Amino acid sequence: MKDEYQISKNNLPTIYFFSSEKKDSFSLNPIYRQCNSFIFNCCMVEIFSDNSKNMMALNSFCQEKFPIVVASSPSTLLYVGTLRPRWSFLAIGCEHGIAPFKKFTYSKSLCDYDHYFAPTSLWAERLSRIYKNASTSFHVGDYPKLDDLKENVLSLQKSTSKDDLPQAWSKFPQRLKQLVILTWGVEFDVMASMPDEPGIIYLMHPAQNRVICNIKMRYSNIIFSTQDLTDILIAKADIIFGDLSSLTLECAYIRSNVYMVLDRNIYTKQHDLDDVLFDESSPRYAYIPETDVRIPEKCILKKIDLIQALKTYHVPSRFTSFHLAQDFLPPPKVLGEISLCAKGVLDLAQTTVKNIMNIPNESYKITVLNFISNSYREILGREVDPSGLQTYMAFLCNTPKPPLVAGLEFMLQLAQSPEGQKANKNRPMNWPLIQKFSEDALK
């Protein structure tokens, strides 16, 4: 299969995997490893780290003619867009989870990508239906992180070591080991009211640290998730309760005795979930937003049911453990094949070489046209004239210079022209600063 991706090294675009937080890295790493094993021209860039390797990667990214960006959150794409013009790179999106409940999983921001690989067919179909007129191409991808997690958990389940277990479990080995997974946005008062009993571990999103850091428990443990510790907890728990987080669904995919908790009273008002999802009086109660798929009510525990189950170490028989229906599942991995996301990225790299790196295609020209038009409006305060459009289209489409440098040169020419200086004489704080920064960057 490697022969399929043997492209001339001189023309091959570098594929940059950008992550803005740890969870992005966990999701991107399996795709990065698979792509890099085929073409050896991939680069992982962790924005949250300032090490020299990242700095070198960012410098290379700014200099390359037309790189490919793979990101697992639109906010990361916004950051990348500050480094060079949006039209000057191909943006590919994938997901850092498989839970399709939060609003961002079907928000318009996903249309900022040129291509987006959804983790499930339901997810891809939903986006294609909602944004049928978008220029973004939505594809059915998968979620390679899930295979890594499953492998780690199965390996840890075979281990008899208890050295890494938190105190709530190691100090009370006779107690049922109960794990409660709660996502971002949990109310302080809710956590303060949760049972403090031996054998209970509350696994929280790291962003919750400031909110609940003052809650002290005598017997239970509140733990903020890290990859290694999370794998251990999933493997060693006797029973797992989880809310609508991706980790809950991942647990249900890997193992049994996983129960779903669905209760609006757990979260703050700022939580990224539609209230109708929690409203039992609504016909859309427990439905995945913008779909006809519903969580079976017999699988749903309310907050009061969760507390009772934790206190009694027993789940009433009227509830059943949560099993992932086919709609929730990524496509099955084919033995010996790379993931659909990795194959999709590599295929797009091939297409980029043929259609963009050498001769700008029509869609590339449109992005250049939009860039020129927007620059004229922002700098000169008017629409671009035919002569200027022809001159700068030819320059930006044919220059051998990196797009960042070429784009800055173009904007400087507009800003430093007599018309530009006249248009911006009442905005002294804007363009002088931009000019100085641009001149320094061009040196």
Nearby residues of 87 by Cβ (< 8 Å), 6 or more positions away: 364, 367, 368, 370, 371, 403
Rounded to two decimals, the pTM is: 0.78
| 380 and 278 in a common domain | no
**In the chain, how many domains are there?**
3
| 77 and 89 in a common domain | yes
| 205 and 118 in a common domain | no
* Strand partners for 200: 178
Q: In this structure, what CATH number is given to the domain that contains residue 105? A: 3.40.50
Top-confidence residue, 16 or 441: 16
| 152 and 111 in a common domain | no
252: in domain: yes
334: in domain: no
333: in domain: no
Give pLDDT tens digits for 8-50: 445 678 999 999 888 889 899 999 999 998 887 899 999 887 7
How confident is the model at residue 5, as a pLDDT?
Answer: 54
Written as six digits, the tokens of 174 are 């006779």
pLDDT of 115 above 90: yes
**Alpha carbons within 13 A on the beta-carbon side of 98:** 26
| 170 and 34 in a common domain | no
pLDDT of 146 above 70: yes
Domain enclosing residue 427, as ranges = 360-442
How confident is the model at residue 432, as a pLDDT?
Answer: 40
Phi, psi dihedral angles at 180 (to 5 degrees): -115, 115
331: in domain: no
| 407 and 348 in a common domain | no
| 133 and 273 in a common domain | no
332: in domain: no
How confident is the model at residue 135, as a pLDDT?
Answer: 86
309: in domain: yes
Angle (CA) 366-133-284 rounded to 5° is 150
| 396 and 319 in a common domain | no
| 207 and 189 in a common domain | yes
Which of 182-186, 288-292, 356-360 shows the lowest per-residue confidence on average (mean pLDDT)?
356-360
Give pLDDT tens digits for 183-242: 878 888 999 999 999 999 999 988 787 778 789 899 999 999 888 899 999 999 999 999
Written as six digits, the tokens of 217 are 């428990």
Beta strands in 298-393 (DSSP E): 300-301
* Alpha carbon distance 39, 229 (integer Å): 33
| 306 and 186 in a common domain | yes
Q: Which helix (H) or strand (E) holds 258?
A: strand 258-261
Most confident of the ranges 25-29, 65-69, 131-135, 198-202:
198-202
How confident is the model at residue 4, as a pLDDT?
Answer: 55
| 186 and 287 in a common domain | yes
164: in domain: yes
**Mean model confidence pLDDT for the chain:** 86
Give pairs for 33-39: CB < 8 Å, separation 24+: 34/144, 34/338, 34/339, 34/342, 35/342, 35/345, 35/346, 38/1, 38/2, 38/5, 38/338, 38/346, 39/5, 39/7, 39/12, 39/15, 39/346, 39/349
pLDDT of 360 above 60: no
| 271 and 394 in a common domain | no
Q: At 259, is the pLDDT very low, low, confident or very high (cuts 50, 70, 90)?
A: very high
* Alpha carbon distance 91, 77 (integer Å): 8
